[in-house]
Chain A
Amino acid sequence: MLIANFLLNGCAGKKESVPLPPVEERIEKSPSVSASLLESAVQALRLDQFNQAEIFMERALRLEPRNGELWHTMGQVKFEQNHYDQTVQFCLKSNSLAGKDPLLIQQNWILMEKAYLQMGETEKATLARRHVASP
């Protein structure tokens, strides 16, 4: 989840600012087998290597396919690749696996709102914004 925040705030300077702990700290805490791949994906995104990031995330999802946070990060990758339709779909998938993680769900809606705006679908963006307010 926090990775998602990082990405939203750290990439390409076009995300809203939400204070986040450093990536390394979060990855250290994560017992997840895919942590190193997530870290690599984040690094690749920092360097605007979006296709590389996508490959890292696919590997991560192969190892942990039920991890909603990974699906969100994949949505972020898709956003950076300008694949806004897929951004929405990956966020919806993330939501379906988020369980009772309101922060992740909220971040998904934030990203979906941005994707809808990019696609010029303002009504859907407005709906997404409402979900952000009450996830």
Chain B
Amino acid sequence: MVSRKKKKTIKQTGKKKGTGRLPFVKVSVFLLLIIFVAFALYVKHLDRVIRQKFDGKRWSLPAVVYARPLELYPGLPLSAEKLEKELQLAGYRREDVAADPGGYDRHGDIVHLVTRDFYFADGLQKSVKLTVQFGGDSIESIAGSDSQQRLSLARLDPARIGSFHPRHHEDRIVLTRDDLPDLLVKTLLAVEDQDFYSHSGLSFRGIARALLANIRAGETVQGGSTLSQQLVKNFFLSNRRTLQRKFNEAIMTLLLELHYSKDEILTAYANEVFLGQDGARAVHGFGLAGQFYFRRDLEDLAAAQIALLVGMVKGPSYYNPLKYPERCLKRRQLVLDMMFSRAVIDEEVYQQARTASIETKGGTKGGFNRFPAFLDLVRRQLRLDYQEEDLTTDGLKILTTLDPQVQWQVEKNLAETISALEKRTGVSGIEGAVIVSSREGGEILAVAGGRKPLQTGFNRAIDARRSIGSLIKPAVYLTALVNGFTLASPVQDTSVNIDDGKGGTWRPKNFDGKEHGRVPLYEALAHSYNQATVKIGMDVGLGKVQQTVSDLGVDKEFPPYPSFLLGAAAMVPLEVSQMFQTLAAGGFYVPQRVIGSVLSADNKVLQRFGLSVEQRFKPESIYLLNTALQLAVKEGTGKSLSRYIPFSHKVAGKTGTSNDLRDSWFAGFSGDKLSVVWLGRDDNKPTGLTGASGALAVWGKIMQSLHAEPLDLLEPPGIEWAWVDPEILEMSGPFHHKKVKLPFIAGSIPKQIVETPLPVPENKKTDPGILDRIRNWFR
């Protein structure tokens, strides 16, 4: 063992002696070689980083969501004020005389506007000048401002209502080199990098010049980094001031210059540069900044505005014109001085620009998600077809069905009415949800997910799964009408005991605790009698009623309990809306839609969500049911709607109230719109509101504010009418004292009432007293 160790020691000693003999130069060369190889590998790595980013997708472009385009035509019920509000939303700017795209002026009842180019699913719609003449609360005429030719229809470019950002919330409008105005380029170079086109990425002259300028000014007025360096820093590196970062910046800048042309670098810079913050959204690039601060395309910016934007490069937050106008003005004047001294602008333009005030337009909120509940619905629909990454990186254009005019009214009336109801009932914490759609097309025009429209999070329109109460009844009665019942069929509204399907007995009661005896079917629906409804439902069969609900568009399984007949089933407002959509559309299932089409960043149509229909019920049955729903509003539980909408409008609707007044619903439709309203508390405690005293009021105010059109049900062939006396359930003459004229499917008018009228129950008054009437209002 010992001898072995000795040998080893001798061997090692021998090695050391050998190393010591190597010449110093060789070691140095070897080390240098290692350093060089390491450096080369590092540069290669940086090179790969640069090329990957530059050759690939340079920016994650959020999907941009647009409202429906406003179609103007003579006779459209739209006031000048409302048009102006929508133009503001769409980022139009008010001017003395509208001349450029995105501008408008208003003088009394006349609005001049210049639309902007926009790609719809049917192609590019070029900018046009329009003169819109209003007559009161509607459009009187439209003319092309240039030709004075009368137009029958004009479509405006839609408002941008939101965007789906990746995590870092960057937003930008990507421009090409040709899109960059000369004035912007010259100004940018004059202020940030005078030798841009001659240096190779780094400019020692530039550093020296900046140093001198800063010493002269006594403050930092000019940076020493070239545009290429700034781009590298913004694009690839952090803001940390470390030696390593500076080293990387220098190497990467040289590599960038090696691989890409000056124009490519300049364009990338113009698109990348950070120029402010719009809430959670970061405003990048001059294109978006022009829109954000001035509501103008870059090419339409004046010298003073360009000076302001370029001046902001130095410190977008510090020189924010919206927050610090004086500071920003000072910076802008300095930039204008530089522009003049470096011959970018002549004296006339310089003098004019110096006197211009900072006329920002308050920052457009176009990119801000102004209608989060609606956007939530859009996003959920898109997720069925697109990956999350597609939505946040590919710059998709999502053209939706949102009608801002409807949405504003929904938000206003929901918030105001809930506040008033809370005061009246003393119950706080009431929340709400509203969905409004077009009656025939199923396009969702507005969504409220809560009383606070800007609040994100729990979207009650889509996620609040609540008992729908009597809103289920139209499905029960439709099933009855399809299965041989008529509106005059006598039904018994008396006590009923039913196996509840869970081993017990279910004894449903009426809201007023009374039994109403034998009543015609339409009256049982109009007054929302529970016991009669349960009897009808059990008579036709629970399974058939559930099938009807499915046919109406709610494609889900419900437990087969009899309580389903009184709305124990839980649904979200969106499902209720789809169910009533089929009724409103005359028995045709029309899938409700929030998206019209999806376009790619280069304006190719990727997907269309077109109109489709499917007849699921015979028009005659639907006609009878909708007539009964009109009667529910005229003389039933929806009677108090007359406070908001005249009886002559004949709207159809139904109230819904769940046990212990936990949920208040109203669903109904006018000639042009369907709306569903839900009110309740998130903790599911009682609200003290019935469908009539809560949701109906919201519904009425919304539809009143939207000037809902009268509902004129078109009578299908094969309908006959007869006078019915609801008290004795016999056909009667038109002069009978208490009569109602009802429609029947041809051949179904009973020749005579077979049953002998039953005695009227004790608690049923032939003529309801004042207390009953008041109770009816609130049912």
Could you list which residues of chain A lie within 8 angstroms of chain B, going by C-beta atoms?
A: 33-37, 51-52, 54-56, 58-59, 61-63, 65-66, 74, 86, 89-90, 92-93, 96-97, 99
Distance A3 CA – B751 CA, assembled complex (angstroms): 45
Is B615 an interface residue, CB under 8 A from the partner? yes
- In the complex, residue of chain A having the shortest beta-carbon distance to the beta carbon of B619: A96
- Among B73-120, those with CB < 8 Å from A are 73-75, 120
Output the least CB separation between A112 and chain B (Å): 12
- In the complex, residue of chain B having the shortest beta-carbon distance to the beta carbon of A56: B122
- In the complex, residue of chain A having the shortest beta-carbon distance to the beta carbon of B622: A96
Distance A121 CA – B619 CA, assembled complex (angstroms): 23
| A-B CB contact pairs (8 Å), 28 listed | A33-B73, A33-B74, A33-B153, A36-B152, A36-B153, A52-B122, A59-B71, A61-B441, A62-B71, A62-B438, A62-B443, A63-B71, A65-B440, A65-B441, A66-B440, A66-B671, A66-B714, A74-B611, A89-B612, A89-B614, A89-B615, A92-B615, A93-B586, A96-B586, A96-B619, A96-B716, A97-B586, A97-B714
Query: For B614, what are the chain A residues with a Cβ–Cβ distance below 8 Å?
Result: 89
Distance A85 CA – B547 CA, assembled complex (angstroms): 22
Is B760 an interface residue, CB under 8 A from the partner? no
Distance A58 CA – B443 CA, assembled complex (angstroms): 11
Give the dominant DSSP class at A's interface: helix
- In the complex, residue of chain B having the shortest beta-carbon distance to the beta carbon of A85: B614
Distance A97 CA – B155 CA, assembled complex (angstroms): 27
B439 and A90 within 8 A (CB): no
A58 and B610 within 8 A (CB): yes
A33 and B152 within 8 A (CB): yes
B716 and A33 within 8 A (CB): no
Is B613 an interface residue, CB under 8 A from the partner? yes
Query: For B716, what are the chain A residues with a Cβ–Cβ distance below 8 Å?
Result: 96
Query: For A61, what are the chain B residues with a Cβ–Cβ distance below 8 Å?
Result: 440-441, 611
Is B43 an interface residue, CB under 8 A from the partner? no
Of the candidates B75, B155, B588, B608, the one whose C-beta lies within 8 Å of that of A93 is: B588
Query: For B120, what are the chain A residues with a Cβ–Cβ distance below 8 Å?
Result: 55
Distance A66 CA – B152 CA, assembled complex (angstroms): 19
A35 and B152 within 8 A (CB): yes
- Among B429-488, those with CB < 8 Å from A are 438-441, 443
Query: For B587, what are the chain A residues with a Cβ–Cβ distance below 8 Å?
Result: 96
- In the complex, residue of chain A having the shortest beta-carbon distance to the beta carbon of B623: A96
Distance A97 CA – B610 CA, assembled complex (angstroms): 20
- Would you give the 0/1 interface string for B574-607, flagging 1 where the beta carbon is closer than 8 Å to chain A? 0000000000001110000000100000000000
Distance A35 CA – B151 CA, assembled complex (angstroms): 12
Query: For A54, what are the chain B residues with a Cβ–Cβ distance below 8 Å?
Result: 610
- In the complex, residue of chain B having the shortest beta-carbon distance to the beta carbon of A93: B613
- In the complex, residue of chain A having the shortest beta-carbon distance to the beta carbon of B71: A63
Is B121 an interface residue, CB under 8 A from the partner? yes
Q: With A33-B152, A36-B153, A63-B73 given, is the CB distance from A93 to B441 under 8 Å?
A: no
B615 and A37 within 8 A (CB): no
- In the complex, residue of chain B having the shortest beta-carbon distance to the beta carbon of A35: B152
Distance A59 CA – B439 CA, assembled complex (angstroms): 15
Query: For A66, what are the chain B residues with a Cβ–Cβ distance below 8 Å?
Result: 440, 671, 714
Query: For A63, what are the chain B residues with a Cβ–Cβ distance below 8 Å?
Result: 71, 73, 153
Output the least CB separation between B732 and chain A (Å): 28
B611 and A99 within 8 A (CB): no
Distance A51 CA – B610 CA, assembled complex (angstroms): 10
Q: With A33-B73, A56-B122, A59-B71 given, is the CB distance from A90 to B613 under 8 Å?
A: yes
Query: For A55, what are the chain B residues with a Cβ–Cβ distance below 8 Å?
Result: 120-122, 608
Output the least CB separation between A131 and chain B (Å): 11
Output the least CB separation between A24 and chain B (Å): 14
- In the complex, residue of chain A having the shortest beta-carbon distance to the beta carbon of B605: A51
- In the complex, residue of chain B having the shortest beta-carbon distance to the beta carbon of A32: B152
B611 and A96 within 8 A (CB): no
- Would you give the 0/1 interface string for B698-730, flagging 1 where the beta carbon is closer than 8 Å to chain A? 000000000000000010100000000000000
Output the least CB separation between A50 and chain B (Å): 12
- Among B295-312, those with CB < 8 Å from A are none
Distance A59 CA – B438 CA, assembled complex (angstroms): 13
Query: For A35, what are the chain B residues with a Cβ–Cβ distance below 8 Å?
Result: 152
Distance A32 CA – B482 CA, assembled complex (angstroms): 36
Distance A47 CA – B396 CA, assembled complex (angstroms): 29
Query: For B155, what are the chain A residues with a Cβ–Cβ distance below 8 Å?
Result: 59
Q: With A36-B152, A62-B441, A65-B441 given, is the CB distance from A93 to B615 under 8 Å?
A: yes
Distance A99 CA – B71 CA, assembled complex (angstroms): 27
A99 and B714 within 8 A (CB): yes
